[in-house]
Structures are given as structure tokens and as C-alpha cells.
């Protein structure tokens, strides 16, 4: 009888555990980056297969993109990106692990509110702290997070050879958009 | 007491659970696209075709030179006086199919080719397999010299299977069984059908520089021809691929390169040249 009571407590705790971790997720998140210099060829890539997860109770947020999932207009540029710049075979993914500061899901509406997202961005084997504004909205079962930030290739030990340095911007602007759904 | 601890542990796990596992969970759901990429940088290793194909709708403009033999030294400026040229274009119809056409100075040859990918190296399959077929038209043969010549006599066919493997991000190797058929040949010295096995590879020296080597063993060649042995250096500069070459076979058509290698490395009788690719 004592055992049964214990089992019930464990089951309740496990259910609670599942409910408590209010996770929202996606596998089709969008990340775009652009390093185009005006009057030169467009240098931009886009991943439509970024996965991301948000814990609605704590505001914890994580995202993961495979480097080989970034698409470019020019196939040769995509090849060079993977082979020479981010070295996708050695460092296959980019990850972000952080927090939407002060997130309160109950106050989210269809009109986007601005929050600060801080966390660690890791790519090409290097990690950098990122903190920037993001817009968060919620309609039905979907939480949408969109935002933008800037990074420098040097922050992640990505070398830009001198022959092409004029054609690749010093600062790379990154925009993202995640529509996270409760599973 | 034990049970209490376990229950307390579980309760505690509620608070820690969400923290670290978000990323780990994502990790396990992502499927890695595992195809080997950039096995070779150029469409050719040296003169031999590599398993690289242009992407869909990509244009490659090709200019190649093979100079005369370096053997005669400064008299012929180490062969630069006897330059031969290949001018051509390659077009990717899809990511797995491309066509090309080129004109060669040597024997006033026109070469057309089709290249198609049959299999890709991935976690499930060990090699890239690409088919390559060429049709050469020799326009050097004059009607006055050969009054009975017909158009079919000018044709040479090459059928090649290119099998490559990227062993590491530096080393890639290729094997190429080759079957050559000529409509016009001299039965006293050679067969109309010739079989050869070619092999090549690249070793990256830096990110944008690689050393390439290739050799072809022709099983049916007459004695006075050699087997082609070539060494090259790939230099990559964004939209260009530049290949510097030393070879004992001056021809740039697939058939001529494998069957008519006239130079001899041992005698210092070899040719300098380069391939230049511009991608549009």
C-alpha cells in the first residue's frame, strides 16, 4: 500500500514535470545573414531548417542550424562558404543558447512586444555572447520570435582573405524568425 | 528515506530539466545532410575529369593551354612557342547533368561531352560515381589527303566511369576505367578499341591551394606511346579556378590525352600548361 502511494506520487510528479516544462518548438526556423557590400555581388545565405525551442515558463531559448543547410544564390559561393569559411565538415552546426529576459507568456498577445534576448552564439568552434532586442508575439498555440543582430567574422575566427575582403562586409547582419508551436 | 530522496530528486529535476536539455533535444532531432562536398575543386583533376559537376544553370568558361615540350629549352622558350589551346564551355542542366563543347588546336579537334552523376558519397555509400562520355570530331584530316574519308571516320568515342572518394578534407582519390573507340586507326600499330585505367588525386596544401597528381595506364597502346603522368597545382580565387600543369601528354581531349602521350618524363620531355575556369 505504501508502495502504491509512492508510485502515484512519482507519476503525479512526472506529469507535473511534463506540464511544467512548457516547451514550444520548431524545425523550420528561418535565419538569414547578409554580408553584401554595395555595388558588389550579393553575399547572403538563408537557412529554412533551423530548429529552435523555447521554455515558456523560464524563457530559456535554444536554436540549432546546420551550416550545410544555408542556401546561397550562387552554388559556388555556397561551396566556398562550407569549405573555406565556416569549415562545415569540422564544425557542422551553429547553436544559440540563452534566454528571453523577463518573458511572461500570459502577457503575450498577437501584437509583438519587445524583449531582450541574451545568450551564447557558437559557430566555427567559437562562442560569443549576444544580446539584442527581439519581438515576441503569441497567437493561439504559436509563439513567434523575430529579431536581428550583427556579428563580425573575426569574432568566430573566420578568415576573410585579402583578395575578397572588399567584397565581404566587415559586419554581417543576421535576421531570424521562429514560429514555435506547442507540441 | 530512500524513497523520499528519490521523490525530492524528481521534484528538483523539474527545475533543472528544462535548463540544459533544450539544446541537447534539438541536437537529437536534427538530421545531418551527410553528402561529401568539394571532393575536387576543379572540373578536372589535371587533364582527367574529376567527379565535380557544375550546379544547375551554372556556366563555366574554359581556357586551357598546353605548350610545346620544355626539352628544347630557351630556343623555343621552354615550349611556349608551340602553344596549343582549348576553348570551351560547360553548362549544368541540372545538379547531376552537364554538357560541354570545346575546340582544340591540336588536330583541329572539336569535343562534345556529357557528364552525369550516378551516385554520391554519403554515410551510407562510400564513393561518388559519375559517368563521362565524349565525342571527338577531327577536322584536321583533309579531303585531298584522304579522298575516301567520310564524316564517321573523324569520330572518336570515350566512355568513362569516374569513381572518387573524399578520404579527409585534404585527400581525395579517383579511379577512372576508360574505354576508347576510334573509327579511324592504323591496324598495323594500334587497336580501334583501347582500354585504360586512370587514377588521380588531390592533396590540399592550404585552404585555396591543392596539389594534384594523375596517371593513366593504357592497356592497348603501341609501344612508342607512353602512359600519361601529370602533376598540377589548383589555385582558387573566388570565381576562378586556375590549374598549373606539367604533363607528358600534350593533348587535352580525353582520347588524345590517354592514347597519345608522346613525352617522356625521364628525358625531360614534358609539357607545361594551365587550365583556367571562370564560373558564371
Q: Is residue B279 part of a domain?
A: no
Structural domain contains residue A106: yes
CB of B206 within 8 Å of a chain A CB? The answer is: no
Under 8 Å between Cβ of B92 and B125: no
Q: Is residue A148 part of a domain?
A: yes
Give the Å distances, CA to CA, from A132 to A116, A155, A176: 6, 16, 12
Report if residue B67 sits inside a domain. yes
Residue span of the structural domain in which B103 resides: 54-271
* Contacting residues of A for B27, CB less than 8 Å apart: 64
Does a structural domain hold residue B267? yes
Considering only CB atoms, which chain A residues are within 8 Å of B32? 66, 68, 92
Size of interface A-B (CB pairs under 8 A): 91
DSSP-assigned states of every residue in B227-245? PPEEEEEEEEETTEEEEEE
How far CA B156 is from CA of B112, B113, B177, in Å, comes to 11, 12, 17
Residue A58 placed within a domain: yes
Number of domains observed in the structure of chain A = 1
Nearest to A68 by CA among B134, B230, B30: B30
B202 CB burial (10 A radius; 0-12, 13-18, 19+): buried
Q: Indicate whether B17 belongs to any domain.
A: no
Q: Is residue A1 part of a domain?
A: no
In sequence order, the β-bridge partners of residue B209 are B206, B235
The rounded distance, in Å, linking the Cα atoms of A58 and B197 is: 64
The interface predicted TM-score of the complex, written ipTM, equals: 0.70
Q: Which of A13, A63, A64 sits opposite B10 (nearest CB)?
A: A13
Q: Which of residues 11-50 of B touch A (CB under 8 A)?
A: 11, 13-14, 17-19, 22-23, 25-27, 29-30, 32-33, 37-38
**What is the model's pLDDT at position B6?**
64
- Reduced to 3 states (helix: H, G, I; strand: E, B; else coil), residue A178 is strand
Classify residue A3: in a domain, yes or no.
no
Q: In the Cβ-directed half-sphere of B216, how many Cα atoms lie within 13 Å?
A: 34
Residue A169 inside a domain? The answer is yes
- Domain interval for residue A72: 22-181
Rg (CA), chain A: 20
Over residues A77-132, the pLDDT tens digits come to: 898 899 889 998 889 999 999 999 998 888 888 999 999 999 999 999 999 999 99
* Out of A53, A63, A92, closest to residue B32 by CB: A92
- In-domain check, residue A71: yes
**Minimum distance, in Å, between the CA of residue A170 and any CA atom of chain B:** 18
In a domain, A2, yes or no: no
What is residue B10's predicted lDDT score, i.e. its pLDDT? Answer: 59
CB contact under 8 A, B22 and A62: yes
Query: What is d(CA A107, CA A112) in angstroms, rounded to the nearest whole number?
Result: 11
Residue B26 lies in a domain: no
| CATH number of domain containing B141 | 2.40.160.40
pLDDT tens for chain B, residues 1 to 280 = 666 666 666 555 555 444 457 888 777 666 666 788 889 989 999 999 999 999 999 999 999 999 988 888 888 888 888 889 999 999 999 999 999 999 999 889 999 999 999 999 998 899 999 999 999 999 998 888 888 889 999 999 999 999 999 999 899 999 999 999 999 888 888 889 999 999 999 999 988 899 999 999 999 988 899 999 999 999 987 778 899 999 999 999 999 999 999 999 999 899 999 999 988 8
Residue B30 counted as domain residue: no
How far apart, in whole angstroms, are the C-alpha atoms of residue B87 and residue B100? 11
Cα diameter, chain A = 78
Q: Considering the domain boundaries, does residue B1 fall inside one?
A: no
Q: What is the pLDDT of residue B63?
A: 95
pLDDT digit string, tens, across residues A48-60: 999 999 998 889 9
Give chain B's domain count: 1
Residue B31 lies in a domain: no
CA–CA separation, A115 vs A106, rounded Å?
14
What is the C-alpha to C-alpha distance for residues B22 and B213, in angstroms, rounded to an integer?
48
Picking from A36, A104, A43, A41, the residue whose alpha carbon sits closest to that of residue A72 is A43
pTM given for the model = 0.79
Residue A62, domain CATH = 2.40.128.110
Mutate to test the interface with B, among A62, A74, A94, A100 (most CBs of B within 10 A): A62
Q: Give B171's Cβ-side CA count (13 Å radius).
A: 2
Amino acid at each position: 500500500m505504501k508502495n502504491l502511494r509512492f508510485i502515484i506520487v512519482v507519476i503525479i510528479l512526472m506529469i507535473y514535470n511534463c506540464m511544467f516544462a512548457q516547451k514550444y518548438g520548431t524545425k523550420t526556423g528561418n535565419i538569414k545573414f547578409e554580408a553584401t557590400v554595395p555595388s558588389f555581388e550579393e553575399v547572403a545565405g538563408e537557412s529554412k531548417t533551423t530548429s529552435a525551442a523555447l521554455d515558456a515558463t523560464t524563457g530559456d531559448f535554444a536554436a540549432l542550424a546546420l551550416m550545410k543547410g544555408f542556401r546561397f544564390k550562387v552554388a559556388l559561393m555556397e561551396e566556398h562558404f562550407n569549405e573555406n569559411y565556416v569549415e562545415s565538415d569540422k564544425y557542422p552546426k551553429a547553436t544559440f543558447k540563452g534566454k528571453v529576459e523577463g518573458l511572461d507568456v500570459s502577457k503575450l498577445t498577437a501584437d509583438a512586444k519587445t524583449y531582450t534576448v541574451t545568450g551564447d552564439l557558437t559557430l566555427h568552434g567559437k562562442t560569443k555572447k549576444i544580446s539584442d532586442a527581439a519581438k515576441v508575439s503569441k497567437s493561439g498555440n504559436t509563439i513567434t520570435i523575430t529579431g536581428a543582430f550583427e556579428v563580425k567574422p573575426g569574432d568566430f575566427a573566420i578568415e576573410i582573405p585579402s583578395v575578397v575582403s572588399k567584397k565581404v562586409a566587415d559586419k554581417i547582419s543576421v535576421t531570424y524568425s521562429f514560429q514555435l508551436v506547442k507540441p | 528515506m530512500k524513497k523520499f530522496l528519490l521523490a525530492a530528486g524528481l521534484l528538483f529535476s523539474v527545475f533543472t530539466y528544462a535548463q540544459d536539455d533544450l539544446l541537447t533535444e534539438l541536437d537529437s532531432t536534427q538530421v545531418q545532410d551527410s553528402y561529401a562536398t568539394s571532393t575536387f575543386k576543379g572540373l578536372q583533376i589535371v587533364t582527367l575529369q574529376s567527379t565535380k559537376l557544375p550546379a544547375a544553370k551554372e556556366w563555366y568558361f574554359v581556357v586551357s593551354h598546353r605548350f610545346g615540350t620544355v626539352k628544347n629549352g630557351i630556343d623555343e622558350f621552354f615550349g611556349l612557342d608551340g602553344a596549343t589551346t582549348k576553348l570551351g564551355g560547360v553548362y549544368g542542366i541540372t545538379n547531376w547533368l552537364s554538357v560541354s563543347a570545346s575546340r582544340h588546336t591540336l588536330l583541329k579537334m572539336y569535343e562534345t561531352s556529357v557528364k552525369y552523376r550516378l551516385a554520391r558519397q554519403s554515410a551510407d555509400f562510400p564513393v561518388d560515381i559519375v559517368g563521362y562520355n565524349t565525342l571527338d570530331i577531327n577536322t584536321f584530316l583533309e579531303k585531298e589527303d584522304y579522298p575516301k574519308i567520310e564524316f564517321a571516320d573523324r569520330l572518336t568515342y570515350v566512355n568513362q566511369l569516374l569513381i572518387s572518394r573524399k578520404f579527409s578534407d585534404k585527400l581525395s582519390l579517383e579511379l577512372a576505367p576508360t574505354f576508347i573507340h576510334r573509327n579511324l586507326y592504323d591496324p598495323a600499330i594500334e587497336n580501334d578499341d583501347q582500354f585504360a585505367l586512370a587514377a588521380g588525386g588531390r592533396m590540399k596544401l592550404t585552404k585555396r591551394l591543392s596539389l594534384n597528381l594523375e596517371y593513366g595506364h593504357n592497356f592497348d597502346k603501341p609501344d612508342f606511346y607512353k602512359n600519361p603522368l601529370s602533376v598540377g597545382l589548383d589555385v582558387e580565387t573566388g570565381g576562378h579556378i586556375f590549374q598549373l600543369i606539367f604533363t607528358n601528354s600534350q593533348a587535352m581531349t580525353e582520347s588524345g590525352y590517354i592514347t597519345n602521350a608522346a613525352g617522356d618524363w625521364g628525358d625531360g620531355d614534358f609539357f607545361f600548361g594551365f587550365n583556367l575556369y571562370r564560373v558564371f
